[in-house]
Amino acid sequence: MTDTINQLFTGLSIASILLLVALGLAIIYGTMGVINLAHGEFVMLGAYTVWLLQSQFGIDLLTCLVFVFLIVGAIGWLLERTMIRRLYGRPLDTILLTWGIGVMLQQAVRLGAGAQLRYVKMPEFLTQAVSVFGVDQSAYRIFILLLTVALLFATYCLMFRTDFGMRLRAVMQNPEIARCFGINASRVYSMTFAYGAGLAGLAGALVSPLKSVSPDMGTGFVVDAFMVVVVGGVQSLLGTVVSAGILGQLSGVIAFLSNDTLAKALVFFSVVILIRFRPQGIFAMKMRRG
């Protein structure tokens, strides 16, 4: 029973990080059709922002989260306004552009902060263990899980309970018709890209106390996030959540039975098989595009 509970929380912990990274990626692609290969670098920027605020200003991690979302979101907004928007409707060009942006962001961090590993301090009260069904679990991992649920709920409310969400869904359905109704599609694109980048930054900030912070740390995250988005159906919020849960639990179980390397390989192989027989993903959504 103890092993089962431990395995369940391990899978949920992996899934929560995957969901935070993939959620922003799914929103960006679903709205703009942009395959953002620089998304992993937004994760990296979130981690470095926490390190910088802690080391230079002594700000604790929880307070840093607000600044991370705003700073990384602003960087995403600036990149969309200055470069990405010029290549809408040209998927191969946007792939090349976002890959180049990712490389430039990595090198900029190496030049500014150095290539050595950095470390972020975890809040003292979250370093303790919490008993769940009689089994001790990391308080920080439970905090990540609860915060992910809160951010997922906030994203749902933003998309389905606000005027901005209505405009966002209208642009996703048919941008030309949306413009005819007075919706500023370009503003929706900018804010959506900023929100997705901000979520990725939060994922980087949350994972920074658990692993070393380095300029190339986002590369692995973006690969996993793309798998989550593709399996979930690309444009489905529910699909992204379910996919993150499935892949997180699958990775946790295989890693428990063997090792992390084999877990990554088998999960990737499983995703390839799924895409072969169901390329639209688990929860495919039919969209009308102009």
Q: What's the whole-number average pLDDT of the chain?
A: 86
**67 falls in which pLDDT band (50, 70, 90)?**
very high
**290 falls in which pLDDT band (50, 70, 90)?**
very low
**289 falls in which pLDDT band (50, 70, 90)?**
very low
- Token readout for 223 is 């690969």
Structure-model confidence comparison of residues 106 and 5, the more confident one: 106
Segment 282-290 mean pLDDT = 57
Report the percent of the chain where pLDDT is more than 90. 34
Q: How many angstroms separate the Cα of 164 from the Cα of each of 150, 170, 183?
A: 19, 10, 10
CA angle 223, 75, 182 (to 5 degrees): 100
Q: What is the pLDDT of residue 288?
A: 46
Give the range with max mean pLDDT: 131-135, 154-158, 173-177, 179-183: 154-158
Per-residue pLDDT at 283 exceeds 80:
no
Is-above-0.85 flag for pTM? yes
Whether the CB-CB separation of 173 and 287 falls below 8 Å is answered with yes
Per-residue pLDDT at 1 exceeds 70:
no
**197 falls in which pLDDT band (50, 70, 90)?**
very high
Identify any residues that bridge with 129 across adjacent strands, giving them in sequence order: 138
Segment 246-260 mean pLDDT = 79
Secondary structure of the chain as H, E, C letters: CHHHHHHHHHHHHHHHHHHHHHHHHHHHHHHHCCCCCCHHHHHHHHHHHHHHHHHHHCCCHHHHHHHHHHHHHHHHHHHHHHCHHHHCCCHHHHHHHHHHHHHHHHHHHHHHHCCCCECCCCCHHHCCEEEECCEEEEHHHHHHHHHHHHHHHHHHHHHHCCHHHHHHHHHHHCHHHHHHCCCCHHHHHHHHHHHHHHHHHHHHHHHCCCCCECCCCHHHHHHHHHHHHHHHCCCCHHHHHHHHHHHHHHHHHHHHHCCHHHHHHHHHHHHHHHHHHCCCCCCCCCCCCC
Q: What is the pLDDT of residue 165?
A: 86
Segment 112-123 mean pLDDT = 89
Per-residue pLDDT at 85 exceeds 80:
yes
Per-residue pLDDT at 227 exceeds 80:
yes
> Domain coordinates of the chain in residue numbers?
2-126+136-277
Segment 152-172 mean pLDDT = 88
User: CATH fold of 2-126+136-277, please?
Assistant: ABC transporter involved in vitamin B12 uptake, BtuC (1.10.3470)
Whether the CB-CB separation of 13 and 6 falls below 8 Å is answered with no
